């Protein structure tokens, strides 16, 4: 049911954009409704795949935060698509994107969500530096184990040392 609400919200947002552009005679073409998928895992709420004209959403965070998705996440991701369509490759949360958030949806541009992500967190690994304990995701832990990455503390400038998994 929530997926249907998101699809409807995407349709309504695109319709709003097309109507505003038509009224202001800024756009001769209409933006199509993007393809929508519900397959993101982890802490990311939504993602815009610009060249594919596609939106992806996290189904777990969606079910836990439906209202915020409808009011913030969907317009946020649509504005990424619009920024790409109107301006080409620009900074993801740059001035163009911010202006679109305000113009089309009258929203204060926020770059990140503040959802409780405890239900989507994977296994956490405890690392240590001179400042104290640090938590790394399984992805970062695996990169350290495969010697593909080293992580340095921003404060003490020392390399993280593996301690144990939580």
Q: Of 54, 77, 96, 148, which one is the catalytic site residue?
A: 77
Q: Does one domain contain both 45 and 84?
A: yes
77 is catalytic: yes
- Say whether both 98 and 16 belong to one domain: yes
Residues 55 and 133 in one domain: no
The CATH number covering residue 87 comes to 3.30.2010.10
Q: Where are the alpha helices (DSSP H) in the chain?
A: 2-24, 59-64, 66-68, 74-87, 95-105, 138-145
Residues 152 and 82 in one domain: no
Decide if 159 contacts 129 (C-beta within 8 A). yes
Put simply, whether the predicted model's pTM sits higher than 0.85 gets the answer: no
- Enclosing domain of residue 90: 2-105
One domain, residues 98 and 132: no
Residues 81 and 53 in one domain: yes
Question: In this structure, is residue 56 part of a structural domain?
Answer: yes
Per-residue pLDDT tens for 71-92?
A: 999 999 999 999 999 999 999 9
Q: Is residue 112 part of a domain?
A: no
% of the chain residues with pLDDT over 70? 96
Residues 75 and 144 in one domain: no
- Give CA–CA dist 43/104, Å, rounded: 27
Q: What pLDDT shows up at residue 26? A: 64
26 and 101 assigned to the same domain: yes
pLDDT of 28 higher than 80: no
Mean pLDDT of the chain: 91
């Amino acid at each position: 049911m929530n997926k249907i609400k998101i699809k409807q919200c995407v349709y309504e947002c695109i319709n709003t954009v097309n109507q505003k552009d038509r009224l202001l005679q800024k756009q001769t073409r209409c933006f199509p409704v993007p393809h929508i998928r519900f397959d993101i895992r982890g802490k990311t709420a939504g993602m815009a795949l610009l060249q594919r004209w596609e939106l992806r959403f996290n189904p777990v965070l969606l079910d836990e935060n439906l209202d915020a998705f409808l009011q913030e996440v969907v317009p946020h991701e649509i504005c990424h698509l619009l920024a790409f369509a109107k301006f080409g490759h620009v900074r993801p949360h740059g001035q163009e994107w911010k202006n679109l958030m305000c113009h089309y949806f009258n929203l204060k541009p926020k770059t990140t969500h503040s959802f409780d992500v405890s239900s989507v967190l994977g296994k956490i690994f405890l690392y240590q530096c001179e400042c104290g304990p640090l938590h790394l995701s399984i992805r970062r832990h695996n990169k350290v184990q495969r010697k593909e990455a080293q992580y340095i503390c921003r404060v003490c400038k020392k390399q993280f040392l593996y301690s144990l998994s939580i």
